């Protein structure tokens, strides 16, 4: 039976932080604030997978009060979620993500994000979509206060 999951996340920009999106470090004047590496795209994707698995959310699985996840590489956490999915009998069929950022330009990094996300989940790169958009300078994204991301995931639970 097919299962669908949706995920959403936001992180605010902060001085003196790295900008990591889809596991790719991108040169920019600021990075995103967060307990882990603040990879907002990968966080949305993990929540999409967990949604399809009906396994809560990443806040439950990787609490930001736990020092173990301080500065954590979100792709490693994504690998844990993908392993958990397989352990529960799910096959990851397809995922698609959208990230909204006014700056920097993300299009040049999309292919590498897809490669890294696919490798972390143990799927083919053609099973991973990544799209980027600005918000035409509207809202908190348009004011360059932060970045938001959405993801959907299609899983097969292995049952008829």
Q: Which residues contact Mg ion by CB under 5 A? A: 9, 43
Smallest distance from the beta carbon of 9 to Mg ion, in angstroms?
4
β-pairing, 128-133 with 31-32?
unpaired
Residue least distant from Mg ion (Cβ): 43
Quote the distance between the C-alpha of residue 141 and its chain's center. Answer: 17
Smaller CB separation from Mg ion, 9 or 148? 9
Smallest distance from the beta carbon of 109 to Mg ion, in angstroms?
19
Distances (CA, A) of 97 to 13, 58, 151: 20, 17, 4
Smaller CB separation from Mg ion, 30 or 93? 30
Smaller CB separation from Mg ion, 43 or 109? 43
């Amino acid at each position: 039976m097919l299962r669908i999951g949706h995920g959403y996340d936001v992180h605010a920009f902060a001085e003196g932080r790295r900008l990591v999106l889809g596991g790719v470090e991108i040169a920019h004047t600021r990075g995103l604030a967060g307990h882990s590496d603040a990879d907002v795209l990968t966080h949305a994707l993990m929540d999409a997978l967990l949604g399809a698995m009906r396994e809560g959310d990443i806040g439950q699985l990787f609490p930001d009060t736990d020092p173990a996840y301080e500065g954590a590489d979100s792709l490693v956490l994504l690998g844990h979620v993908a392993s958990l999915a397989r352990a529960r009998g799910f096959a990851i069929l397809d995922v698609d993500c959208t990230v909204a950022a006014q700056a920097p330009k993300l299009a040049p990094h999309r292919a590498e994000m897809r490669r890294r996300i696919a490798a972390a989940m143990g799927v083919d790169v053609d099973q991973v979509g990544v799209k980027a958009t600005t918000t035409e300078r509207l809202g908190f994204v348009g004011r360059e206060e932060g970045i938001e991301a959405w993801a959907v995931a299609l899983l097969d639970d292995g049952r008829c």
